[in-house]
Amino acid sequence: MKIDDVLQSMQDKFGSKIIKVERKNEKRAYVDIYPKDVVLLTKYIFKELGFRFAIATAVDDFDAIEVLYHFADDPSGFIVSLRAIIREKEDPRIETITGVTKSAWWIEREMHELFGIHFDGNTDLRPLLLPDDWPTGVYPLRKNFIVPKRDSRKS
Amino acid sequence: MSHKAHIPIGPYHPLQEEPEFYKLVVEGEKVVDVDVRIGWNHRGIEKLSEAKTFDQSIFLVERICGICSSSHPITCVQAIEDLGGIKVPDRALYIRSIVQELERLHSHMLWAGLAGHFLGYNTVFMWGWKYREPICDIMETVTGNRQNYAMLKVGGVRRDIEKEHITYILSRLDEFIRHLDMLRGAILDDPVLHARLKGVGILTKERAIDYAALGPTARASGYDIDVRRDHPYAAYDRIKWKVITQEAGDVFAKVVVRIMEMYESVSIIRQCLDKLPNGPIDSNPKDIPPGEGIGQAEAPRGECFHYVKSDGTNSPVRHKVRAPTYMNFPTFRETVIGQSVSDATIILAAIDPCYCCTERMLIVDDKDKEILNVQELIRLSQEKTMKLKEKMGYK
């Protein structure tokens, strides 16, 4: 399957659920979607088209939080990234995709602790990388997080 | 009454190379559940990268891991090249492939040694680490360093391979192959290792796909993926080589994949040296436009993945790093449960876990810094040995 056929099939199947399709080059495409449709589209790409879940990336875009889900099609060598834009920055929420693929288990835990995104339906959002005594409500990869000055030289 | 017992391993333990914490739940000697806690190595590379320029971020990601010190930079430069649509000269592409394959050789050799060590077969450990030396020597010849090669830059590579070095590289590769033949026989034909590794820690193909396992972990389960072939980069689409797969999914299959991959790597390096085109090694790009880019590369442990977003300034707005172990690690739940506790170490080691990659660590040390050269380090080491000898009563 070619990248154009995949993008066309998604547009035919989901119509208005797809906000924008950006075909960056012959290997990469970015598809903007609404956060509420993420499970539906993930299921289509992962289960029906058989793409591999490469990883998800959260981006703090100042007035919104974006979550990008990167899917790789190994037989044809291209990557489709679904971009869900969450406008509610105070309490960003999106449905979990761990029901579709277990490979999202750790990355959702990571995005939860580093960006404060809540994944509805994910029962295991324990800290992955940060220590257990990390203060709640402090998300280090948000743009408003200021890295504290190091004072470790005293010891 | 439940007969479950908990075995805590870590986070700091004299036998662990890196800090991690496993909680094994066992019933008798059977593992019934397992949990892992990482984070003791987390240094916030992704945040740090946002404060660096694009050139510095390559330097930064090189220091994520001491073993994959060309996989992260190549992925990062490819993400930036994808972002800016930057072309790379042919000669640089071939040199990139050579460095990548040398890294795979030394990493697989290092793993074979460690796996032997975990099984109590320390001869394999000694061999593996001894026969890795020719590769480190070649690395030093090609890049100037045994580790942290600093070879990659956006648009090309930093150093060229000199004509007179090619003969030396080929002769050291011949030496390496002789040792590899011996090691292959010693590992793959050993009935004790067959008994120890076959049928242990099986990851089925369905599970490998569901967990999106990568690299040798996936290929040993019959999941035929390899970034070098599927998403061609560097010079991999211009030479002949094959992807090694196995069907069994057990620890033994992972050993076979890694050992046979080393032969392919040697073949790739020889072909690259043979076909090495003349020309520049750097296209010297000047500006990084706004936009986003994705880079992928096949590290020794599987696909390395970087996402870089730029707003047109000289620093990335977001730099996501995903190391292969991050995807391979969660498969341990599928492979270790139901197995004997004595096999747990080798099952966990079979994915070749790399914690520093997974946690993207970095030591930032810019205050009160002390820079030592080789002679000073040797002097320090000798002084310490002398002190120890005195303390223990040796003359």
Q: Which tokens belong to B174?
A: 């011949």
Query: Residue A54 in 3-state DSSP?
Result: strand
- Confirm whether B9 is domain-assigned: no
With cut-offs at 50, 70 and 90, classify the pLDDT of residue A72.
very high
CA-based nearest residue in chain A for residue B368: A153
Q: Calculate mean pLDDT across residues A131-135.
A: 88
- Decide: B249 and B202 in contact? Cβ < 8 Å: yes
Which residues sit opposite B27 in a β-bridge? B4, B30
> What are the backbone dihedrals phi and psi of residue B243, each rounded to the nearest 5 degrees, phi first?
-85, 130
The verdict on residue B392 lying in a domain is no
Instruction: Report which of A80, A89, A88, A109 is spatially closest to residue A4, judged by C-alpha positions.
Output: A80
Cβ(A54)–Cβ(A78) below 8 Å: no
Does some domain include residue B376? no
Q: Which of A24, A74, A81 sits opposite B230 (nearest CB)?
A: A74
Domain with B277, as residue range(s), is 42-359
Residues in chain B: 395
Q: Report the distance separating Cα B333 and Cα B103, nearest Å.
A: 29
Separation of alpha carbons B41 and B326, rounded Å: 14
User: Which pairs count as long-range contacts for B120-126, CB under 8 Å and 24+ apart, including other chains?
Assistant: B121/B192, B121/B193, B123/B186, B124/B183, B124/B186, B124/B187
Task: Report yes or no on B33 lying in a domain.
Answer: no
Mean pLDDT confidence for A94-104: 94
8 Å CB contact between B92 and B86:
no
Q: Are B171 and B269 in contact (CB under 8 A)?
A: no
Q: Which residues of A touch B231 (CB under 8 A)?
A: 27, 72, 74, 77-79
Interaxial angle between packed helices B163-188 and B133-143, expressed in degrees from 0 to 180 and rounded to the nearest 10 = 160
Where residue B297 sits, what CATH number does that domain have? 1.10.645.10
Q: Please state the ipTM of this predicted complex.
A: 0.94
Distance of alpha carbon A51 from its chain centroid, rounded? 15
Tokens of A149: 């000055």
A146 interfacial to chain B (CB closer than 8 Å): no
Which secondary structure element, helix H or strand E, spans residue A119, and what is its range?
Answer: strand A118-120
User: In which region does residue A134 sit, left (phi positive, over 0), alpha (psi from -120 to 50) or beta (all else)?
Assistant: beta
Contact residues, chain B, for A54 at CB < 8 Å: 212, 296, 303, 305, 322
Q: Sort out which chain A residues have CB atoms less than 8 A from B44's CB and list them.
A: 140, 147
Mean pLDDT for A74-79 is 92
Q: What strands lie across the sheet with B302-310, from one edge to the other?
A: B291-299, B302-310, B316-322
Which parts of chain B have pLDDT scores under 70? 1-2, 15, 355-374, 395
Residue in chain A nearest B328 by alpha carbon: A103
Q: What's residue B290's pLDDT?
A: 95
H-helix or E-strand containing B388? Answer: helix B374-391
Quick check: A106 and B330 CB within 8 A?
Answer: yes
The pLDDT assigned to B361 comes to 36
Q: Dihedrals φ, ψ of B35, to 5°?
A: -135, 150
Q: Which residues of A touch B305 (CB under 8 A)?
A: 54-55, 70
* Closest alpha carbon to B219 in B199, B200, B205, B201: B205
Domains of chain A by range and CATH?
A: 3-143 (3.30.460.80)
Does B101 map to a domain? yes
Whether residue B390 lies inside any domain: the answer is no
- Residue B31 domain-assigned (yes or no): no
pLDDT of residue A132: 86
Q: Considering its fold, how many domains does chain B have in total?
A: 1
- Cα Rg for chain A, rounded, in angstroms? 17
Are B210 and A25 a contacting pair at CB < 8 A? Answer: no
User: Is B125 inside a domain boundary?
Assistant: yes
Handedness of CA A49, A50, A51, A57 (dihedral sign): positive
